[in-house]
Chain A
């Protein structure tokens, strides 16, 4: 309502003055420290008997599941049939894809590409699949594709109706939103544990986990698309006496179609993102190749499989993105539009038929493209010749950044001081509400019996984020000033964002050996593209009028950046810091796999040794840490506005 937007006079908040508040917080901190000096027995370590007992309860439950798998009606009548059904479906698709001649698959992709985007897309897609075959990964590619298809199909079948419900009912939206948030923040590992518990090990848990992971974007974008349909169109439909269902079907859904298709695209990308993780619970295909190669430290093999995943990701991304660009409001009218040409599809079909006749069913082995060996050689050479760089770097990070900081958080500062300190940060960036929430979160870490691991992880996350920010901001600023830098960076960032996270690990381990440092470097590589992109975007989106005005008054380039662009881009940059910290947190478990210690390691132990209790506790702690850090940085980013 326009009448409400009249600016209200900004009233000074009735709060005590700033120095007074700082003093009181300092006093509280000092009090906590004093307390820990007086009662060292209670505060040296988080009291072990203050425990929620979650681990035991979960372990008890998982024992019950294991011993009742065969008899309990819940399994006999629900999980087992569901499991069998999903498995049969995946096998069906997999057999269909593998049974078809390779040329047919490439031909179909080419035709789809031609219909959706033209000959460029068509050629790109077919070359992509051809490359997968040429690396000797045809079978694995098809297996992954089958898993993806089924998972994405399920994710959409569940996600789109949920998204519609969210858009139509505010109450439903309020209920579902925090669940979606949790689903996205929770590391995939954490829900793999219960999924394995209920569905066993094989294709099915991989499908279920992928579906869970991929649902949120489908829901969100569907809901967003419907909510953003022009209100005028909906009102007109109402004014002509449409029922709710008619409005949905005739107005809202058609107009939201581009957004829904963008959701399909995001769903596919999310699903591809956990292909490797899904392999850990028994999914075959490319993910398994990467996982096995990683365990055997075969960098070349991992590189090939990783590259195949990237190629599939790009092909599916472009295809589904072309799908979302179909705009119903701009279709050429039937009378005036060009008649669809059937020449190109016919040519493609003809070529396909030729290939089917000329070659056998399996992808010809003599077309092998040996990428593995040169990559292996390169990594070996780097390891042997660059240790004079990698070694000191690794030592520096460990000795001067990680260790002191970890010791400070975990050993030197008693836990009550940590709780008060985090709460104080929450208080200063937002208010007592956030302070209270953060304090409760910190307590939860202790109650779950994971205090020292949590502090270890927290120290790693903060150090990693600091390194990422220090690297990302200058590069982002540079990219915002120079189109050349931007053009050079773009493919690199694209590559970093689509490569499955595991693939980073392989060369990093080769170079830095196992420990906390490779995890940190992999996390930095994972988080840095987002940081650079958001920083650049923030600066580029500064209003051109302000920049023009500054130029008109004769600012130098440096003055322009420091006095106009950076201050105006501050909210966007703050948001990019928030995103970087969340990306780093998402890598905690993966870092744990290569010796990162802390919560990540506990989660890996939980999954690989079926220690359900430990795994779930660690996962919960990661989620809690993520929530605390997210809320604090969000509030901080909001203050920059």
Chain B
């Protein structure tokens, strides 16, 4: 769906030269080039249809620049971007505009709403620039506003809305053009913690029915774990590690990733299948079973009730066993992979 290969973005007077020097130098230890800032450094990834791909990094790591490179809001210095097989960097202005109008929509950190337009006109903006007639676009916009739960607010101006509501407008606006791909640039970072959680749940609710291919940028690791099918940890313009939330928590590649993982809500992220012991001998099925994708927090009440181990079912057949000790170990120990020998 979306394939990026070796994307670079260098800011400065002669980015091409800097790229040539940095990318093709055999000694990769050279990190900087005088007078230039390397924002994105040879990043490659693939996002599958319907998948939510999260890029997590601290500020200055280049994640916002990366997401802007995807539709060339920021022109990448080098690399290839394929969206549904089409090479974005070879598109002319017209083709690029059509890509932005019909295929890819974006939700912004500071909402990017147009302050002089009412909510309805903001949501209809994407359709308006494509030349959709007023009646059709207003109908569609009204549907989207209802979808994000803002019915009744259509004729308010953005500044009359709270931050969370403004971002709902941003979401509705992105959905109105029915894009194949959604790009989120730290959409919930500007919101209060409670509202943020509410918006995350809202997004998950929408995604459970819409299944849009998404690239989601965030600096908040718990948010990445909650939203992402796969997560890329970005640092200094590069991906440090890419994997599912569980993979990152179980097998952080280095100390940088480990620092994030340390406070992860392990009971929510880890699954029974990941920590089970495959040794089934001597443990007859006692009727207490859990599916292998069940998070550990679902196991806790059952284990609290009774001491006997649980049988983990993978597609209906017993695949392994989990006991109290294994769960407790998984919740407190950082390196579960080593502990279970998986």
Asked, given contacts A240-B101, A240-B126, whether A328 binds B155 with beta carbons under 8 Å apart, the answer is: no
Asked, given contacts A232-B108, A233-B112, whether A1 binds B159 with beta carbons under 8 Å apart, the answer is: no
Interface assignment of A556: CB less than 8 Å from any CB of chain B: no
- In the complex, the answer to whether B100 meets A240 with C-beta atoms within 8 Å is yes
Interface assignment of B118: CB less than 8 Å from any CB of chain A: yes
- In the complex, the answer to whether B100 meets A329 with C-beta atoms within 8 Å is no
Partner of B116, one of A236, A239, A243, A255: A255
What distance in Å separates the Cβ of B63 from its nearest Cβ neighbour in chain A? 12
> Which of A219-227, A313-321, A331-339, A416-424 participates in binding chain B?
A331-339
For A236, list chain B residues within 8 Å (CB).
106, 108, 112-114
In A202-261, which residues have CB < 8 Å from any B CB?
230, 232-233, 235-243, 246, 250-251, 254-255
SS of B interface (majority) = mixed
Query: In whole angstroms, how far apart are the Cα atoms of A335 and B157 in the complex?
Result: 12
- In the complex, the answer to whether B156 meets A333 with C-beta atoms within 8 Å is yes
Interface assignment of B311: CB less than 8 Å from any CB of chain A: no
For A4, list chain B residues within 8 Å (CB).
11, 37
**Residue total for B at the interface (Cβ-Cβ under 8 A):** 37
What distance in Å separates the Cβ of B195 from its nearest Cβ neighbour in chain A? 19
- In the complex, the answer to whether A241 meets B116 with C-beta atoms within 8 Å is no
For A71, list chain B residues within 8 Å (CB).
none
- In the complex, the answer to whether B159 meets A330 with C-beta atoms within 8 Å is yes
Most A CB contacts (10 A, CB to CB) among B39, B111, B114, B158 go to B114
Query: Can you list, as one digit per residue, whether each of A1-15 has a CB less than 8 Å from chain B (1) or not (0)?
Result: 111100000000000
- In the complex, the answer to whether B101 meets A233 with C-beta atoms within 8 Å is no
Interface assignment of B60: CB less than 8 Å from any CB of chain A: yes
Query: Can you list, as one digit per residue, whether each of B95-116 has a CB less than 8 Å from chain A (1) or not (0)?
Result: 0111111100110101111111
Interface assignment of B73: CB less than 8 Å from any CB of chain A: yes
Query: Can you list, as one digit per residue, whether each of A373-417 has a CB less than 8 Å from chain B (1) or not (0)?
Result: 000000000000000000000000000000000000000000000
- In the complex, the answer to whether B125 meets A241 with C-beta atoms within 8 Å is no
**Residue total for A at the interface (Cβ-Cβ under 8 A):** 29
Query: In whole angstroms, how far apart are the Cα atoms of A439 and B73 in the complex?
Result: 47
- In the complex, the answer to whether A330 meets B99 with C-beta atoms within 8 Å is no
Partner of B105, one of A232, A237, A240, A254: A240
Query: In whole angstroms, how far apart are the Cα atoms of A599 and B223 in the complex?
Result: 72
Interface assignment of B59: CB less than 8 Å from any CB of chain A: yes
What distance in Å separates the Cβ of A86 from its nearest Cβ neighbour in chain B? 36
Interface assignment of B213: CB less than 8 Å from any CB of chain A: no
Q: Which residue of B lies closest to A253 (CB)?
A: B116
What distance in Å separates the Cβ of B11 from its nearest Cβ neighbour in chain A? 6
Interface assignment of B130: CB less than 8 Å from any CB of chain A: yes
In A332-361, which residues have CB < 8 Å from any B CB?
333-336
For B100, list chain A residues within 8 Å (CB).
238-241
Query: In whole angstroms, how far apart are the Cα atoms of A238 and B108 in the complex?
Result: 12
Most B CB contacts (10 A, CB to CB) among A1, A235, A246 go to A235
For B126, list chain A residues within 8 Å (CB).
240-241
Query: In whole angstroms, how far apart are the Cα atoms of A254 and B112 in the complex?
Result: 15
Interface assignment of B52: CB less than 8 Å from any CB of chain A: no
Asked, given contacts A232-B110, A235-B73, A240-B126, whether A328 binds B37 with beta carbons under 8 Å apart, the answer is: no
Asked, given contacts A241-B98, A330-B157, whether A254 binds B116 with beta carbons under 8 Å apart, the answer is: yes
- In the complex, the answer to whether A232 meets B97 with C-beta atoms within 8 Å is no
- In the complex, the answer to whether B108 meets A241 with C-beta atoms within 8 Å is no
Interface assignment of B129: CB less than 8 Å from any CB of chain A: yes
Partner of A333, one of B59, B155, B177: B155
Most A CB contacts (10 A, CB to CB) among B105, B128, B157, B159 go to B157
Query: In whole angstroms, how far apart are the Cα atoms of A233 and B122 in the complex?
Result: 11
Q: Which residue of A lies closest to B98 (CB)?
A: A241
- In the complex, the answer to whether B129 meets A243 with C-beta atoms within 8 Å is yes
- In the complex, the answer to whether A233 meets B37 with C-beta atoms within 8 Å is no
Query: Can you list, as one digit per residue, whether each of B172-197 has a CB less than 8 Å from chain A (1) or not (0)?
Result: 01000100000000000000000000
For A243, list chain B residues within 8 Å (CB).
97, 129
For B115, list chain A residues within 8 Å (CB).
230, 233, 255, 328-329
Asked, given contacts A3-B39, A330-B157, whether A240 binds B114 with beta carbons under 8 Å apart, the answer is: no
For A238, list chain B residues within 8 Å (CB).
73, 100
Query: In whole angstroms, how far apart are the Cα atoms of A251 and B101 in the complex?
Result: 16
For B130, list chain A residues within 8 Å (CB).
241
Query: In whole angstroms, how far apart are the Cα atoms of A254 and B60 in the complex?
Result: 33
Query: In whole angstroms, how far apart are the Cα atoms of A335 and B120 in the complex?
Result: 13
Q: Which residue of B lies closest to A230 (CB)?
A: B115
For A240, list chain B residues within 8 Å (CB).
100-101, 105-106, 125-126, 129, 173, 177
Query: In whole angstroms, how far apart are the Cα atoms of A239 and B129 in the complex?
Result: 11
What distance in Å separates the Cβ of A197 from its nearest Cβ neighbour in chain B? 46
For B96, list chain A residues within 8 Å (CB).
241
Query: In whole angstroms, how far apart are the Cα atoms of A362 and B116 in the complex?
Result: 46
Query: In whole angstroms, how far apart are the Cα atoms of A328 and B11 in the complex?
Result: 36
Query: In whole angstroms, how far apart are the Cα atoms of A368 and B97 in the complex?
Result: 67
Query: In whole angstroms, how far apart are the Cα atoms of A250 and B122 in the complex?
Result: 11
Q: Which residue of A lies closest to B170 (CB)?
A: A236
Q: Which residue of A lies closest to B160 (CB)?
A: A333
Partner of A241, one of B39, B60, B101, B159: B101
For A230, list chain B residues within 8 Å (CB).
115
Interface assignment of B71: CB less than 8 Å from any CB of chain A: yes
- In the complex, the answer to whether B101 meets A3 with C-beta atoms within 8 Å is no
Query: In whole angstroms, how far apart are the Cα atoms of A236 and B116 in the complex?
Result: 14
- In the complex, the answer to whether B73 meets A251 with C-beta atoms within 8 Å is no
Partner of B129, one of A1, A235, A246, A335: A246
- In the complex, the answer to whether B155 meets A335 with C-beta atoms within 8 Å is yes
For B155, list chain A residues within 8 Å (CB).
333-336
For B11, list chain A residues within 8 Å (CB).
1, 4
Query: In whole angstroms, how far apart are the Cα atoms of A298 and B96 in the complex?
Result: 71
Query: In whole angstroms, how far apart are the Cα atoms of A145 and B157 in the complex?
Result: 38
For A255, list chain B residues within 8 Å (CB).
114-116
Query: In whole angstroms, how far apart are the Cα atoms of A255 and B157 in the complex?
Result: 14
What distance in Å separates the Cβ of B122 from its nearest Cβ neighbour in chain A? 9
Q: Which residue of A lies closest to B112 (CB)?
A: A236
- In the complex, the answer to whether A2 meets B101 with C-beta atoms within 8 Å is no
Partner of B157, one of A232, A233, A237, A333: A333
For B105, list chain A residues within 8 Å (CB).
239-240
Query: In whole angstroms, how far apart are the Cα atoms of A225 and B263 in the complex?
Result: 47
Query: Can you list, as one digit per residue, whether each of B59-85 has a CB less than 8 Å from chain A (1) or not (0)?
Result: 110000000000101000000000000
Q: Which residue of A lies closest to B94 (CB)?
A: A243
Q: Which residue of B lies closest to A251 (CB)?
A: B114
For A251, list chain B residues within 8 Å (CB).
114
Partner of B108, one of A235, A254, A335: A235
Query: In whole angstroms, how far apart are the Cα atoms of A3 and B32 in the complex?
Result: 13
Give 17 CB contacts A-B under 8 Å: A230-B115, A232-B112, A233-B115, A235-B108, A237-B129, A239-B100, A239-B105, A240-B100, A240-B125, A241-B129, A242-B97, A243-B129, A250-B114, A250-B129, A254-B116, A255-B116, A328-B116
A233-B115, A329-B159 given; name 4 further pairs at CB < 8 Å: A236-B108, A240-B100, A241-B130, A255-B116
User: Which 8 A-B residue pairings sit nearest by Cβ, starting from the closest?
Assistant: A236-B112, A241-B101, A241-B100, A328-B116, A329-B115, A240-B126, A239-B106, A333-B155
